[in-house]
Every structure is written in structure tokens, then in C-alpha cells.
Amino acid sequence: MSKGVNLKELSKKLNLSQTTVSRALNGYPEVSAETRRRVSEMAEELGYAPNSQARRLATGRSMAIGHVIPRSIHEMMNPIFLEFIAGAGETYSKHGYDMIISVVEDDHEEDAYRQIASRKKADGVIVHGPTSDERRHKLLKKLNLPFVVHGRIPGAEEETSWIDMNNRRAFERATNLLLDLGHTRIALLNGLEHMDFAKRRRRGFEEALRARGHKPDQALMRSSDMTEPFGCENAMEMLKGDNPPTAFLVSSMISAIGVARAVGQCGLKTGKDVSIITHDDALSFLPNSGEIPIFTCTRSSVRFAGQKAAELLLAMISEPGSKPTSLHLDAELIIGQSTGPAPAR
Amino acid sequence: MSKGVNLKELSKKLNLSQTTVSRALNGYPEVSAETRRRVSEMAEELGYAPNSQARRLATGRSMAIGHVIPRSIHEMMNPIFLEFIAGAGETYSKHGYDMIISVVEDDHEEDAYRQIASRKKADGVIVHGPTSDERRHKLLKKLNLPFVVHGRIPGAEEETSWIDMNNRRAFERATNLLLDLGHTRIALLNGLEHMDFAKRRRRGFEEALRARGHKPDQALMRSSDMTEPFGCENAMEMLKGDNPPTAFLVSSMISAIGVARAVGQCGLKTGKDVSIITHDDALSFLPNSGEIPIFTCTRSSVRFAGQKAAELLLAMISEPGSKPTSLHLDAELIIGQSTGPAPAR
DNA sequence: TTGAAAGCGTTACCAT
DNA sequence: ATGGTAACGCTTTCAA
């Protein structure tokens, strides 16, 4: 039965001052070894645990990190978001931090940050899903709330801390692979292009095409929430059109599964009649591994990104005034079963 | 510029006591209308916001709800879990509660609950993914920490508050539909059967079969994490075996997509050669709606469950000592394109 | 090495 | 209707 002893009671029991007990428990050096031992033992015995609210009030640090998710993000990026969160959460736990998640209506996002700052709910926040006309970083600077961006804020790369994968390069490499395989009609099924990551992916795609003398064809590019039906419906439409693509470059496994479904429904074979390369966030419930992964993919673990983002943020918090840091992860290009040479015409 | 005024400064500015200001802001009735107006105005002007740590310390309530997720859960139930969280989060926000999520190693789960209780990190918790030999509820009772179970704890239905869908009945109805369509060889691709929900689904399946004089065939039942490859590989194996099933009953959309892939790879057609019914948690990134949904399914919104679970828990917290409540949701059985009459042999 | 006492910013009790 | 003051449970400064 852990009874809920507090510091006062504990110190009384030990015939020591609260001060000493606190110091002993918090590892201050000036406590004698013997005292420290006695204190820890008794604390253990009485099941003492410091009240976090009290400690937070006293120290002025809330020992929590906030994640604000507007509905729009979580509807769109649902599983990816959780995987990131899971990674970040691991890091927080390790360092004794709590993770606070605020699910808010889209137009209350700023309010949420304001509250976190003014009510001291968290010592820092992670900014998710930066868009092309991002503004949250300005607010956060004004609020003096440390933050790390998952992704990049165009034009503010130098003045903010962020972690991102090399979206442009990943899609450039994927495109080149398809070109090498002889594909020339390549479709792009991208995420919402007001999101920075999606814009970069498109850029990588188009640049690779142009560099090899191909003109990007608007008719072969779509941008939307990365759902399964999005992949299926658009692939279907394109495959049934005149001059259909022989390859698809897709922004998420989920949509790629949809594309594969469309391919099947058209009586074609993935990896033979139609090639697919997808980005793979390494989501645990959608494993794409094995000796030969189902999908050829550009892979970058979003969970790992979460861990790293959290580390970055905690470091910023413990060293206020330090320079912005950023981490640029490179995606791997992994060959799976969904690509093959372009079919002869 | 919200400067971070505190109650003391605010009350000084107003020539009022902290007490009165606090009362005015917290809506106590004994404050004159005029005073309240003045206070609110000044509070607004100076950008006052109460420090949550201080308030928590003073009130003794942490105004937060905890969710402990051991890795095993989130690896398994990733997207479903997030959708639930999102629903719960909406409710918390509405009521001024924070949501804190602890991602812990599997063998630290109990510790996490102990800490939440002893350090007063949250006023209550949600218990996710109850298993057949569930024990967490006992610990939580001992810790005196209010909780609501998402799912049911076998044998403790009366003494705990929970929200669950009718898993048994949903799978019973789905099985009956398949039987009505003439299918007799029906495969079950279930979640991990140490989980209570999976066990109930299996029961519904087997009972329906027996009630119509069919003997469940072990060779047609599998149980695992509900990933996409799980669906594909097992369906493939069964379809290629002798005496293959003509229908699949699947525990999650993700695996069902895998089954559909296998069906396609075998050169068969879903809804014609092979029928599929899946449970659909109504995940936002896997929409299965439209005039005719892709998959025939038993559907129950896990997001809605999250909202309700949160409401239940908040009610418990505001009325301590109240009786356990529970909510039993019924899944809808929705006809989509993935079912049809059993093919003639 | 230890202790006394003053915060931290609220709320809540008891007066008035 | 308003105010004084004591909690709440910890950390931290200053003394010893």
C-alpha cells in the first residue's frame, strides 16, 4: 500500500530537515553518503514520491512537452503522426518529461500555443506539419516558447530548430530509378501540396524529369490527403485514360496500396505492367520489409525522427540561448517487388 | 505582448484582494457584477492566465488524464489507438483537461500507473487493450486512481467502468451474412487472441457457425497482429491450399487490404470468387464509405468510443464514489462490394 | 554537512 | 461582497 507520504512526513520520520531530504533524493553532492542511504531507504519504505505539481511550481519548469494537433493534421496524417509521437514519447519518458497532447479545432491552434505559454503548461513544443506559408514559428518566438519543427519552414531554416528528411532528394532518386528502368510516363500521387514536405517531393520529381529531358505532365500529378482510395481512384483513372503511365511515384504506403489495388483491378500486374515506388515512413502496422519488400520505396523512419526531435528539444530547453540546430535525415532507396523495366510498347 | 502577469500583480492593479480577483475569474456567485466586469477587463488587458501548476497544487486536482501505452500496444494497434486518442482528446479539451501520454516499455507499465498516482500526475486514466488475464484494474483500484476501460475486462464487467463495442454480436452477424450467401468455408483472420476483443470476435464467429450446423475449422483460423502482410500471407496460403475458403472474416481493414491483395494475386476477384467482411474502425485515413463501400464491414467508430470514454471518466472524477457505468456500442453491418454469393463449386 | 525560512502562484477557509 | 491568511508540497537561498 503506497500511502502517499509527502516530504514533510518523510523528513519528520528521519529526523532530518526537508531540505536535507530533498537534497539527498535529488542527488546533490553535499549530502553525506550515510544520510543519503538512510533517506533513500526510508523513502522507498514509505513509498515516497514527489508531487509533480509542487515540484513544478517550485522549479518553474513544467517538465512537459506539448504537441498541438489541429484536427486537420490528424485527419490527414493520422498514422504517421502517431508513429512520430511514439518515438518522441520514448525520449520524453527517458528524461522524466511528460508529453501533453492537445487536440484542437483548426482555428484554435494559436490559442492552444498561447495557453501553453501563458499557463506554463509545457516547457516546449513540437511543431507538426509545416506548410508553405507557415506562421506558427513567429508566434512561438514571440511567446518565448522553445520549439522544434518536424519538417522545415521555408525561409526560416536558419533561425529555427528542425528535423526533416531529404524529401526532394528522395523523390529525385526514386524518379531517376524509374527513368533508368525505361519509364517515361511517370505519375506522381503526392500529399497535399500546401505542406512543405509535399512541395519538396514534387520538386525532386520534376527536377529529375527535367534533368533527363522529360517534361512533367500535369495530367499525371495529383495531390490530396494520402488515403487508400485516393491512390486507387486516381491510379484507376489514369490507367484507363489514353496514354496511361507505366509507373507511379507515391507519397505514402497507404495510397500505394490503393494504387496496387487499382492496378490489380485493371487486370495488370504490379512490378511488371506497372511500377510503383512509394515513400515508406516505416509504420509498424504496415511493414514493408522481408528479404524483398513488397514495395520499392524511399524509406525514412518517422519514429526515429520523433526520437531525435524530442532530443533536440530537450537539449534546447536545458541550454537556453543555444543556437538553432537541425537534423537532415537521408531516406534510403530500397528495391522491392513493385518495380521493373518499363513494358515494351 | 502577453507579459505573464500573475494574480498578485493583477489584483494590485485593481486594488482588490487576490481572493476577490480569483473568485471573479472563476465564476463564484458572491462577486458583484461590476467587480467581475472590471476584473475580467483588466485580466484581458494584462493578458493574465493562471499558472496551471499553482492551481493544480492548490486544488489538488491535476486536471489531466493519463494514457499509458506500452510499446506492445502501440506497435499492434497503432492507428486504432490514435483515432481513439483523438476522440478522447477532443473531449478533454472541451472540459479543460490535459491529456498526457506515457509511452513505456512493456514491463514498466505498472510503474507508470504507480507514478501517475503517487506523483499526482493525472486525475484518472484510460486502460487500453484489456487482455484475458487482465490485472491492471486491480492495481488501479488499489491506487485509488479512477479509470475507464476501452474494452471489457472479463469477470470484472460489473465493478469497472468501460466502453466497448459488441464484438461477439458483430462477428456473429457478419458470419451469418456469409452463411446466408451460401459460404460454408469461411476463414477467420483475427487479432491477437489474448486480447479480450479478439476472443469475443472469435466466439461470435464460432457460435454462428455452430448454430447453423457447421463445425469451425481450425485450419481456417489465424490470429496475429493486424498488419497488412498478415492478411495477405495467410489468405494466400489458404487460397492455395486444398479446399480453400470462399470467404474471409477479418478483424481490421488493414489486414483486409492484405487479403484483397492476396485474392488479386491468385487471379481471383474479390466479391465474386472470394468474399471478405472486415471490421472497420472508421479510421480517417482508410475511409470505407461512398455509395457502396469497398468492403462489406462491421463498423464502429473508435473515435466516438474515445469521446465517450473520456466523458465517462470525467464524470467519474467529478462525482467520486459513483457507481461504475458502462457503454455498449453496437457495430453496424454495412454491405459493400466485397461480398457476394458463394461461387458454385 | 545540515537546517530555517522564504518563496512558487493559486485556491479556500474564516472573518468582516 | 470583500479581504486576510493559511495551506498546497516542493526547491532554494542564506546561515550556521
Q: Is A139 on the interface with B (CB under 8 A)?
A: no
Confidence of residue B80 (pLDDT cuts 50, 70, 90): confident
The pLDDT value recorded for residue A75 is 61
Contact (Cβ atoms closer than 8 angstroms) between residue A273 and residue A302: no
Rounded mean pLDDT, B120-124: 96
**A64-165+302-329, which class in CATH?**
alpha beta
Average pLDDT for residues B201-214, to the nearest whole number? Answer: 98
Q: Per CATH, which fold does A7-59 belong to?
A: 434 Repressor (Amino-terminal Domain) (1.10.260)
Give the model's pLDDT for residue B6: 92
Query: Distance of CA A194 to CAs A199, A250, B75, B104, Å?
Result: 7, 17, 30, 35
Average pLDDT rounded to a whole number, residues B35-58: 94
Which residues of B spanning 3-42 put their CB closer than 7 angstroms to strand D? 15-20, 23, 29-32, 34-35
- Joined grid coordinates for residue B9: 500583480
Could you give the 3-state DSSP secondary structure of residue B315? helix
> CB contact, 8 Å: A264 with chain B?
yes
Given an 8 Å threshold on Cβ–Cβ distance, is B53 in contact with A51? no
Q: For chain A, which residues make up each domain, given as ranges? A: 7-59, 64-165+302-329, 167-300
Question: What is the rounded CA–CA span in Å between residue A245 and residue A185?
Answer: 5
Q: Is the pLDDT of residue A301 over 80?
A: yes
Closest residue in A to B290 (Cα) is A229
pLDDT at B73: 65
Comparing A143-147, A236-240, A266-270, which segment has the lowest mean pLDDT?
A266-270
Which amino acid is located at B223 in the chain? S
Task: List strand C contacts in B 208-237 (CB < 7 A).
Answer: none
- pLDDT attached to residue A1: 42
Name which of B4, B104, B119 is nearest A51 (Cβ-Cβ). B119
pLDDT reading at B3 higher than 70: no
Burial grade of B271 (CB within 10 A; 0-12, 13-18, 19 or more): middle
Say if residue B85's pLDDT is above 60: yes
A235: left (phi > 0), else alpha (psi -120 to 50), else beta?
alpha
**Three-state DSSP string of B111-157:** HHHHHHHHCCCCCEEEEECCECCCCHHHHHHHHCCCEEEECCCCCCC
| Torsion sign (Cα): A311, A312, A313, A317 | positive
Reply yes or no on whether the pLDDT at B31 is more than 70: yes
HEC secondary structure over chain A: CCCCCCHHHHHHHHCCCHHHHHHHHCCCCCCCHHHHHHHHHHHHHHCCCCCHHHHHHHHCCCCEEEEEEEHHHHHHHHHHHHHHHHHHHHHHHHCCCEEEEEEECHHHHHHHHHHHHHCCCCCEEEEECCECCCCHHHHHHHHCCCEEEECCCCCCCCCCEEEEECHHHHHHHHHHHHHHCCCCCEEEEECCCCEHHHHHHHHHHHHHHHHCCCCCCHHHEEECCCCHHHHHHHHHHHHHCCCCCCEEEECCHHHHHHHHHHHHHCCCCECCCEEEEEEECCCCCCCCCCCCCCCEEEECCHHHHHHHHHHHHHHHHHCCCCCCCEEEECCEEECCCCCCCCCCC
Most confident of A77-91, A96-110, B2-16: A96-110
Model confidence at A280: pLDDT above 90? yes
Rounded Cα–Cα distance for residues A266 and A258 (Å): 12
Q: Can you tell me whether residue B76 is helix, strand or coil?
A: helix
CB contact burial A53-75 (16+ within 10 A = b; e otherwise): bbbbbeeebbbbbbbbbbbebbb
pLDDT given for residue A2 in this prediction: 47
Contact between B181 and B275 (Cβ < 8 Å): yes
Q: What is the pLDDT of residue A321?
A: 85
Q: What is the mean pLDDT of residues A47-56?
A: 94
Interface of A with B in 77-106 (CB under 8 A): 78-79, 81-83, 85-86, 89-90, 92-93, 98-104
Q: Do A227 and B285 count as a contact with CB atoms less than 8 A apart?
A: yes
Using DSSP, state whether B90 is helix, strand or coil: helix
- In this predicted structure, what is the pLDDT of residue A82? 84
Q: Are B109 and B69 in contact (CB under 8 A)?
A: no
Task: Round the average pLDDT of chain B to a whole number and report it.
Answer: 93
Distance A17 CA to D14 C1' (A): 15
Question: Residue B290: is its pLDDT beyond 90?
Answer: no
| Cα dihedral A270, A271, A274, A279 in deg (nearest 10) | 90
**Rounded Cα gap, residues B335 and B174, in angstroms:** 10
Of B64, B83, B99, the CB nearest to A78: B83
Write down the pLDDT at residue B75: 61
CA atoms within 13 A of residue A71's CA, in its CB half-sphere: 12
* Protein residue closest via CA to C1' of D3: B17
For A293, counting Cβ atoms within 10 Å of its Cβ (0-12 exposed, 13-18 middle, 19+ buried), the class is: middle
Residues 152-211 of A with CB under 8 A from B: none
Element (H, E) at B329: strand B326-329
Give the mean model confidence (pLDDT) for residues A36-40: 94
Asked if the domains at B7-59 and B167-300 fall in one CATH topology, the answer is: no
Q: Which residue has the cell 480569483?
A: B22
B167-300 maps to CATH 1.20.120.610: no
Q: What is the pLDDT of residues A179-204, one digit of tens each?
A: 999 999 999 999 999 999 999 999 99
- Report residue A46 as a C-alpha cell: 514509505
Does B225 contact A at CB distance below 8 Å? yes
The closest nt to B55, taking CA to C1', is: C10
How far are the Cα atoms of A154, A268, A339 from residue A272, in angstroms, in the given order?
39, 8, 7
Per-residue model confidence (pLDDT) at position A265: 86
pLDDT in tens, B123-173: 999 999 999 999 999 999 999 999 999 999 999 999 999 999 999 999 999
Does B338 have pLDDT greater than 70?
A: yes
All three cell numbers of A50, joined, read 514527489
